[in-house]
Structure 1
Amino acid sequence: MVNQTSSSVDTAPLSQPTNFASSQQGSVDKRSYLKLFSQRPMNANILVFIVALYLTLTANFSFFNQLTAIYPVAHSWPFVMSVGGLLFCVIWLVLQLVSHKYLHKPMLILALMIGAICAYFTDSYGTIFDTHMLINGLETDQAEAMDLFAPAFLMRVVVLGVIPALLVSQLRIKTVPLKFAALQKIGAIIATLALMAACLLPFGDQYASFFRQHKQVRFYANPVMPIYSSIKLGTDKFDEMRRPKTLTAHATDAKHIAPASTKPKLMVLVVGETVRADHIGLNGYARNTMPLLSNTKDIYSFKDVSSCGTSTAYSVPCMFSYLGRDKFDVDMASYNENVLDTLHKQGVNVIWRDNNSSSKGVADRVTFEDYKTQATNLECDVECRDIGMLKDFDKLVMGSKNSPPKDTLVVLHQMGNHGPAYYKRYPKAFEVFKPTCLSNELSKCDTQSVINAYDNAIVYTDYFLHNIIDTLKPYEQAYDVVMVYLSDHGESLGENNIYLHGLPYKIAPKAQKQVPVIVWSPASNHMDSQAIASQLTAPASQDYLAPSLLQYFNISTQEADHKPTFFQAQR
């Protein structure tokens, strides 16, 4: 009995050290795993890839909710996956560009924290982090800010931001030679761009509509949008500092020269929208998209004219600028006088009528009339039509009893062929080519039906221009009259799976840069018809417009006197 008791007593303590040792070993193993995780070197490019994927999946719930509301997964899952892949590529590319050597950890940690914080506010309150929101945040006082820090906010930021950031901070980045690191970086960027192309190219038609019609979705891309907005806010402030305080004058030596005719001048200048030169029947297109003008006398169609840019916001101010495409700076355009300012100073009556978005600052100092509303435009159905801009034309040009006719320029800014809803750009009566794409989602239509709708819109422009000519003819006795039409830029219609416009000029296809220029110049206006006709197949550009306007209105200035025009190859 004694031996049994003694044995029992002796064995009991033996089990305790065993459990303690086991527990201690487990703790050591956990620390060992953490130590192994933190001390094992990781390639920086792999880490960037992982963080980009993590942010795509955890910081973009609102982005994908917005996307799938427009493109339900059940019907559009390939496109949704493509957009998700594109978002990942953009995040991956941004992180590659901002992280280098000693900045790898700080920039990735910053991205994780931005992603977690911004995602909370976007998911909870629908907040969009554009420049206006950033300014609003900077101006928020402490009391207002504290109201936002709810427990849910802290929980989400800790779980999705702080913990991943701590893990990144503990990692050891693998050191590689500078040359090898540069090659890796270049390879990673090339891989990113290749993956972007793989996401974009199979769905070019859908992306064309997505980027144009659903711009708001991109505002939910996180952390891309907050980072972009922060950079833009900084650049905007810098641009504001460098902008001139006063308007830069041009053509200060401008003066009238003796005209060949004693009659005042009258020009209607039509600024078209999104029409490409090779879809004009007058230029040899297989379809007669301009049947009225093709049967009109004194029509001259230029066949090789390059635009200033590939978007309205760039091309319109550029074509009226004195600087030309090579020197034009769109950010400084509103701080420089343009040719309309010169005409106005020299006594020309300048009126800008707009059925598009705006004059892009060109008509800020001349008479501007908005024709996108029924209050001014009597020709409105599903939208206000370009033809409505001819309302009360007589009041524009004939003056009054106390004010005789004077040199007049009327600029008509068309809605034209603005895409992707080409079918809305013309009344039903002008649906010549069928079947037509009746959607702004180009992916829902075959290419030919998209082209049919686009060409029908040109047929309506033909009708509009023909009406302008008929409107001008009665004024030939009182004025030297002329009509000039030129489009702001062209349009891609599915070639190489590219749609719409706006690609960078250097890589944009010819379809986006080659635009029509059409002149109606009757014999009564004393212009040299042979000089115009001699240039129709020669290369020209929108740079010709400003000198052309000055030449027509007999205004001389050193800034334009020796530049070619649409009316004369060399002045």
Structure 2
Amino acid sequence: MSLFESLRRLPRPVIPHLVLNVAVASFVMLALNHGFWTRLLAEFPASPGRVAMFGFGVWALTLLTLELLGPGRLQKPVAAVLLLLAATASYYERNFGVLIDREMVRNIFETTVTESRHLITLRMVAGIFVTGVLPAALVFWPRVNRVRLVHQLWRWPLGVALSFALMTGALFSHYKDYSAMLRERHDLMGSYQPGASLTAGIRYAREQWKTADPTAAPYGRDAKPGEALARADKPVLLVVFVGETARAQNFGLNGYARNTTPDLAKRDVIAFTDASSCGTSTAVSVPCMFSGLGKASYSREGALGRENLMDILGHAGITPLWVDNNTGDQNVASRTGWARVDASLAPEACAVECTDEALLPAIRDRLAKIDRDTVLVLHMIGSHGPAYYLRYGPERAGFAPACESAQFSDCTAEEIVNAYDNSILETDHVLASTIDMLAAAQNVIPAMVFMSDHGESLGENGLYLHAAPSFMAPAEQTQVPFVLWLDPRFSSAMGLDATCLAQEATQPVSHDNFFHTVLGLMDVRTSARDAALDLTTPCRNPGLM
């Protein structure tokens, strides 16, 4: 007799509908909500009664969710899905400190297969199998007493109502304390599973529905070349590197104890050492940077609903180009067009995944053909984790020993930081090589901008990677490097005082400045450009032209 047949012959208990939901809700709260309980206990360290009552209220919320979504024969499939959802979210919170919100769901859906496979490890599969797959399978083992449809018509709303009554009764028992906590500690319910993941999924689906077929309203259609750009005797070229996951704290030019930017330090660059990001993920920061909306006003719907920096450059007669070595253009260059890095141009840099060194031949190829004013945007893979070791070649492995695993628990804190710092060395090499290439070019008047989209947590306060919700995002995820290089020919042609810009580099700046500063660097006259946010405004000197 096979094992399967033996299992089939085991007696299956017969239980009421409510008993199964109570069992599932109890398992979810006790086994899959470590982050929730940790935060709740920290909030009421000397009041176990308040902890127990609030925990009971959230348990009742879990029961309410099961009752509401799983009437009748939907009960078991719904319970199984919620168990898998909670187990997966719980695993990533325990191991990386990440919370699931709408933008995290967006990252999940918009990441590439290459990136996502780094997060799928043997330990992850084993962990989710034990805490999610097995319990979900066990849900189908007992038989459930099903009432007839006529009784289900009153039993379902009654179960929902009773669960709701238990939840509200528990929460109102110490309403003053609980309401204050919920207003201040968004991370508490943000760590509750499966509620946080369900809410995030619904918010993501709603936003996708609203932006499914966006029509971009005209913006900056009055753009035209300024006097300096119009008088330039050669095509003006601005190379813009949109960095990935480079954080200011580990950037040598920003005062990091390690010299992670030795090549840039030898070039005449301007480093803005107090720069902050619009978001903590590519899906937020990149559209925000190019939208001109600013962090305070940014929304995905707003960014997709009007033209952006790439469009405005085109309106001014400047050629906008986008070459990608990451997850795509994030709908920024959808109207102007974009291309992925051609791995065949740099096979030595693409042995496993293309490092950013593969962008160098792409720059060289386009540089030779430029015959009109151009902004070339290069979207880097940069320091994207958790597989930092794949972001640089062996010649850039300056810090050792380095973590060579996407499972951080396999590495020490020092090894993780070493691998991350090596990825910054790779970025430093690519930027410096680009500067040398541009400085040697005789057919253009060149300049370069590098700005990271967001930072990265490397274990501080138990957090790893990025995409933390804005209300709890640490400085490691929001402080970013921002570097500017101006060829003397560019400064002269565009009437810019590089010394003045260097003096401004210690002032606080942000992604809000990016849009307007790129327009300023290219001397684009348009009502969309805010002189107060354009960092070139106080440093423009027509007498230098």
For the structure 1 residues 543 and 94, does the alpha-carbon distance in structure 2 shift closer, same or farther, using more than 3 Å as the test? farther
CA contact (8 A) 1:348 1:408 kept: yes
Residue 482 (structure 2) aligns with: 517
Query: Which of 372, 380, 390 is equivalent to 1:414?
Result: 380
Contact persistence 1:82–1:199 (CA under 8 A): no
SS, match of residue 239 in structure 2? strand
After the TM superposition, which residues 220-231 of structure 1 pair with which residues of structure 2 at under 5 Å, given as runs? none
- RMSD, aligned α-carbons: 4.6
Measured in 1, the distance between the counterparts of 2:147 and 2:388 equals: 45
Is 1:291 matched up with 2:262?
A: yes
Residue 282 (structure 1) aligns with:
253
Structure 2 residue corresponding to 1:536, chosen from 478, 489, 505: 505
Displacement of 1:528 after TM fit? 1.3
2:128 equivalent in structure 1: none
- Cα displacement (A) at 1:274: 0.6
2 CA distance for matches of 1:352 and 1:82?
A: 46
Cα distance in 1 between the residues matched to 2:372 and 2:241: 20
Establish whether residue 385 from structure 1 lines up as the match of residue 355 from structure 2. yes
Q: Distance in 2 between matches of 1:537 and 1:497?
A: 30
| Counterpart position of 1:560 | 529
Q: 1: CA distance between counterparts of 2:406 and 2:239? A: 31
Q: Does 1:502 align with 2:467?
A: yes
Deviations 1:188-234 (A, max 9, x none): 7869x99997998xxxxxxxxxxxxxxxxx9xx87886776567555
The yes-or-no answer on 1:423 pairing with 2:393 is no
Q: Report the alpha carbon displacement of residue 459 of structure 1 after superposing the two structures with TM.
A: 0.6
Q: Distance in 1 between matches of 2:148 and 2:256?
A: 58
- Closer, same or farther in 2 for the Cα pair 1:383/1:542, shift >3 Å? same
Equivalent position amino acid for 2:246 in 1: V
Alignment of 1:153-192 (within 5 A): 156=143, 158=145, 169=158, 182-184=172-174
Contact residue 279 and residue 289 of structure 1 kept, 8 A: yes
Q: Distance in 1 between matches of 2:233 and 2:75?
A: 69
Displacement of 1:158 in angstroms is: 3.9
SS for the counterpart of 1:351 is strand
1:485 aligns with 2:450: yes
Distance 2:164 2:486 in 1: 72
Change (3 A) 1:196 1:225: closer
| Match 1:249 to one of 196, 200, 218 | 218
Change (3 A) 1:431 1:105: closer
Flag the 1:522–1:98 CA change in 2: closer, same or farther, 3 A.
same
The Cα shift of 1:552 comes to 2.1
Q: TM-score, normalised by structure 2?
A: 0.69
Q: Which residue of 1 aligns with 2:111?
A: none
TM-aligned CA deviation for residue 462 of structure 1: 0.8
Q: Which of 336, 351, 365 matches 1:366? A: 336
Correspondence list, 1:467-478, <5 A: 467-475=433-441, 477-478=442-443
CA distance in 2, matches of 1:96, 1:421: 40
- When residues 226 and 282 of structure 1 are mapped into structure 2, their CA distance, relative to the original with a 3 A threshold, is closer
Q: Which residue of 2 aligns with 1:36?
A: none
Secondary structure of the residue that 1:262 maps to in structure 2? Answer: coil
**Is the partner of 1:449 in helix, strand or coil?**
helix
Q: 2:78 aligns with which of 111, 115, 118?
A: 118
Distance 1:430 1:57, change over 3 A: same
Instruction: Specify whether residues 232 and 465 from structure 1 end up closer, same or farther in structure 2 by C-alpha distance, changes over 3 A only.
Output: closer
Instruction: State whether structure 2 residue 233 is matched by structure 1 residue 262.
Output: yes
**Offset of 1:166 from its aligned partner?**
5.1
Structure 2: how far apart are the matches of 1:107 and 1:532? 56
* C-alpha displacement of 1:304: 0.4
**Structure 1 residues 157 and 184: alpha-carbon distance in aligned structure 2, compared to 1, 3 A threshold:** farther
Sequence identity, in percent? 31
AA of the residue aligned to 2:474: P
Q: For the Cα contact (< 8 Å) 2:237–2:374, is it kept in 1? A: yes
Deviation at 1:392, TM superposition (A): 5.0
Deviates more, 1:450-459 or 1:388-397: 388-397
* Distance change >3 Å, CA 410–CA 228, structure 1 → 2: closer
> Could you tell me how far apart the structure 1 residues matched to 2:371 and 2:162 are?
81
Change (3 A) 1:357 1:161: farther
Structure 1 runs not aligned, ≥5 long:
1-46, 61-79, 132-151, 201-217
1:201-240 aligned at under 5 Å gives the runs 233=205, 236-237=208-209, 239=210
Q: Aligned letter for 2:468?
A: L
Q: For the structure 1 residues 173 and 509, does the alpha-carbon distance in structure 2 shift closer, same or farther, using more than 3 Å as the test?
A: closer
What is the CA deviation profile of residues 37-74 of structure 1, one whole-angstrom value per residue up to 9, with x for unaligned ones? xxxxxxxxxx9xx997622467x8xxxxxxxxxxxxxx
Q: Which residue of 2 aligns with 1:353?
A: 323
Cα–Cα, structure 1 residues 236 and 269, in superposed 2: closer, same or farther, change >3 Å?
closer
TM-score (norm 1): 0.66
State the Cα distance separating 1:120 from its structure 2 match: 6.2
User: Helix, strand or coil: the match of 1:266?
Assistant: strand
* Matched residue type, 1:487: S
Taking a change above 3 Å as real, the CA distance of residues 196 and 320 of structure 1, as seen in their structure-2 partners, is closer
**Alpha-carbon distance change, 414 to 161 in structure 1, aligned in 2, over 3 angstroms:** farther
Residues 1:455 and 1:253: Cα distance change in structure 2 (over 3 Å)? same
Aligned-partner Cα distance in 1 for 2:281–2:80: 36
